[in-house]
Chains A and B, each alone.
Chain A
Amino acid sequence: MTAKFFKVAIANLLRYGTRTLLTAAGLSLAIAAVLFVNVVSLSFESGTANVYRYVRSTSNGVANIWVTPPTGFKLDSKTGFFTATSTFSEGTADAVLKANGSQGLKVLTGQWPGTAATPLVVYGRSDRNSVSISQSAAAALGVKRGEALKLKQGSVNVAQIAQVPDLAASGVIELPLAMAQQLLELPNQVSWVMLHTQDLQALQQALTAQINALFTTDPTTSDPNRPVIAYVLEGKLGRSDLVSFDIKLAALYFNQAGSTLLGWLARITLGLGFILMLSAALLSIEERRREFGIFAAVGVSSDVFYLFLLESLILFVGSTLAGLLLGALLLRLLTPALFAWDVILKSSVLVICYLPPMVIFGSLVPAQTLLQKSPLELLRGAT
């Protein structure tokens, strides 16, 4: 029975080709625009999670480059401290260091609940032999210089209570890498590798050649006091990770300055896209008022209702797919740097969420309302 209805629905859609085409065009265009605006906005917004900025050390002309896992860094707003969103193996870190002639150090960061009410930031460095804690951490843990600090496995002597003015609000414990790995229960893991170099270009070439990693810097920087950006991705790259680091950095600035503007653009387009689609769907019902009247007059209302729903569903699904394809094509052609499958998929899911309310408000409810009217009323055509 369903197969028969399906055939009739397809035949109906094809029979009124112009009407079908115009309805589909109205729906697809709205969806393509929604997808385009959303992906562009999301690309800039989601970029912030993967941004890290490093200020080049100007002393003796040595630059520091940070090698991060693919997910990069985030600024923890609570502690005001940069933490890596994921870690990578110490083996890879050693390979990265080797590419730079072992000029650098390995770092592991994380949060340790400690004994205090507020969590403490753990900062493990491979070049450190002693434990140093910030004043606020010392106060929170109740330890003084030279005293033993109880950790999970044994205790260590606190060598220094450091002045860390910019992190005064949060407690920081700086300790040897191996100790940090134990404390955070992340054996053989590092958050990033910091490389020291005097020749940025040579390092970039060495990294690219030796660990098959992507490395980008800000090519326009000539001022030694301006930030130099380093971003290295571990292992095989996904297409989505090819968004240039420069653009990701822009996202950070953009979100700070433009805050929610792009998000608002996306939300406005989402809302209006739905209205445009709904209007296209409702008009297709109005166009078929007389047809409904004739069927109602001969007493086949329920069949017509079912058929109409099926036709709408085919049209909506087909138009959504066409719109998504058109949107993806526009993104590929116009903004190839932002063409990332994961962001496109995320936005597509959002657009596909339109379908149920479209079927309900653009087809089911209005068709049901129409069929409750008398055939005469429908045939008259007045609204």
Chain B
Amino acid sequence: MAAVALNWWSLFPRIVQYTNRHIQHNRRRSILPIATIAAGTLLVYAVLTLTETVKAQMAELSGTLSTSTAAAIEQSTVYIAAITLIVGALETAVIMTRSVLSRIQEVGILKATGVGDQVIFSLFVTEAVLYGLVGGIVGVILGWLTAVLVQLADGTSLSSALEPAWLNVLIAAGLATVVSAVAALLPIWRIVKLSAIQALYYQF
């Protein structure tokens, strides 16, 4: 394990260089996963933050509403948040799996030219983490902007609307990065086991 980590660190500059070249060469193809991850993260952040506002309003109304009604609304908002969270994660997983599977032939070429499995593995995981990070950060910023605008329209004061919900930032951006890496990990794990010829002939 330590050897793998050492190997990864020593290869890191070259991995970044390769990833950078790949992104430069396939700009549109790279933008789509990042855009999807950003859209998913935006959704997760905005919904989590807004459902918290809804819950806070329900707490204020607890004297007016019956307990069962307040519970019904709170339950619905929790479901909305949970569904969005799951869908956001699954969309990220789907797009990363597609992104990896569509590059199987590239893996075949790398293997045929003698690049080791560990390096190929590191290449793809690094790229997935990078996509997740960039998409996550962009999504959180856009989500924060959306939540601020909606809260202002709803009558929240500027100072409290501007304050980012740090826990939601962590959840949304962390989810994007982790899910992106894990979703890429699974197909790569399968692909690196293929021989060069199998990878080159693989039809996605």
Contacts and interface: CB of A to CB of B under 8 A. Distances in A.
Interface stretch (A16-24, A76-84, A108-116): A16-24
A29 B72 CA distance: 25
A54 to B, nearest CB: 15
A289 to B, nearest CB: 9
Interface residues of A, number: 54
Interface stretch (A88-96, A200-208, A257-265, A346-354): A257-265
A25 B35 contact: no
A269 B43 CA distance: 7
Interface in B97-115: 97-99, 101-102
Contacts of B42: 272
B94 A265 contact: no
A25 B97 CA distance: 12
Contact of A26 (B25, B75, B84, B91): B91
A254 B73 contact: yes
Interface in B13-37: 25-29, 32-33, 35-36
Q: Which of B29, B46, B51, B153 has the most CB of A within 10 A?
A: B29
A268 B65 CA distance: 27
B65 A265 contact: no
B191 to A, nearest CB: 12
A382 B26 contact: yes
Interface in A312-341: 330, 334-335, 337-338
A286 B103 CA distance: 12
Contact of B65 (A32, A250, A264): A250
Interface stretch (A36-44, A169-177, A302-310): A36-44
Nearest to A290: B105
B73 A276 contact: no
Nearest to B41: A272
Contacts of B43: 33, 268-269, 272
Given A269-B47, A279-B32, 4 more contacts: A26-B95, A254-B73, A265-B46, A269-B43
A268 B146 contact: yes
B4 interface: no
Chain B interface category by residue count? 35 or more
A278 B15 CA distance: 30
Contacts, number: 155
A130 interface: no
A382 B26 CA distance: 6
A220 B91 contact: no
Contacts of B76: 40, 44, 335, 338
B83 interface: yes
A30 interface: yes
B32 A286 contact: yes
B154 interface: yes
A26 B70 CA distance: 34
B158 interface: no
Contacts of A382: 25-26
B101 A19 contact: yes
Interface of B: 25-29, 32-33, 35-36, 39-40, 42-43, 46-47, 50-51, 53-54, 57, 60-61, 64-70, 72-73, 75-76, 79-80, 83-84, 87, 90-91, 94-95, 97-99, 101-102, 146, 150, 153-155, 203-204
A280 interface: yes
B39 A287 contact: no
A15 B46 CA distance: 39
Given A253-B61, A259-B155, A261-B150, A279 B80 contact: no
Nearest to B69: A250
Contact of A22 (B29, B75, B97): B97
Contacts of B91: 26, 29-30, 276
B79 A40 contact: yes
A244 B71 CA distance: 13
Contacts of B90: 25, 29
Contact of B66 (A16, A19, A218): A218
Contacts of A338: 76
B152 to A, nearest CB: 11
Q: Which of B26, B54, B69 has the most CB of A within 10 A?
A: B69
B56 to A, nearest CB: 10
Nearest to A21: B94
Contacts of B80: 36-37, 40, 265
A137 interface: no
A283 interface: yes
B204 A18 contact: yes
A276 B102 contact: no
27 contacts: A19-B102, A26-B95, A29-B91, A37-B47, A37-B83, A37-B84, A44-B73, A218-B66, A219-B68, A220-B66, A246-B66, A250-B65, A258-B54, A260-B153, A261-B53, A265-B47, A268-B43, A268-B50, A268-B146, A272-B39, A272-B42, A275-B36, A276-B91, A279-B39, A283-B29, A286-B102, A382-B25
A335 B79 contact: yes
A75 interface: no
Given A259-B154, A269-B43, A249 B50 contact: no
Contact of A264 (B67, B98, B153): B153
Given A259-B154, A280-B36, A335-B79, A286 B69 contact: no
